Amino acid sequence: MPNPPWLQPLVWTDYRLAIVFTVLLPLVLSIWAFVSKAETIQKLLIIYWRVASLLAITVYLLIAAMPLGFISGWLARILIPISLWFWVDLNEEISEQPPSPLKLTFTSWRWAVSIYCVLGVLAQLPVLSCAFMGHNDLLKTPLCNVWLQAPWSFRELFHRTTKPWFLGGVGLVGLVIYVIYLAYFVLVRLGKQGRSATGQ
């Protein structure tokens, strides 16, 4: 069954919004916070980048059309808002800071990217079925295939001479490291420091 004509433009719009909200804006904020010596915002953004690295891993998995990439991308949208709002101590420190352009911009971005991720989690529920298909079925299914177009274009821009299977392998290695770190955090660090990012 072919995709409705509005789906492909919608998917490409989602990828473009992802670049703006999850890469460009936090990069600008990271530089701004570093220059302004806003340590609390810096700490929260470092946590964000660690969690959001799952999006980069997802791109490499999808370049190789690995079904696992649909799950990792969906989970990334769940973990990102959690990483931005979970820490009680950082939330309190940021709220207690005097008003400033950086604080306003950071707070606006934090709400915007959280809303974007929540909407993405809901919108991608039908696409999760792609995660349980074989590689060949994935390529033949229009709904799944349309989500692979942007990662394939990314490969054409930055990794044209590299085989997709190798890039997918890089993504798998990254995913294994990510899962090990996340498991360590949940099973060990979370019990020791709770919702305090500094452990105090």
In a domain, 198, yes or no: no
Task: Please give the pLDDT value at position 180.
Answer: 96
In a domain, 98, yes or no: yes
Using alpha carbons, list the distances in angstroms from residue 131 to 126, 163, 194: 10, 22, 33
In a domain, 176, yes or no: yes
Domain residue limits at 145: 7-193
Task: Please give the pLDDT value at position 103.
Answer: 96
Using alpha carbons, list the distances in angstroms from residue 45 to 41, 81, 180: 6, 12, 21
DSSP string spanning 75-134? Answer: HHHHHHHHHHH--HHHHHHHHHSPP-HHHHHHHHHHHHHHHHHHHHHHHTTGGGGGGGS-
In a domain, 2, yes or no: no
Task: Please give the pLDDT value at position 200.
Answer: 56
Specify the number of domains making up the chain: 1
Low-confidence ranges of the chain (pLDDT < 70): 1, 199-200
In a domain, 35, yes or no: yes
In a domain, 133, yes or no: yes
In a domain, 57, yes or no: yes
pTM value?
0.93
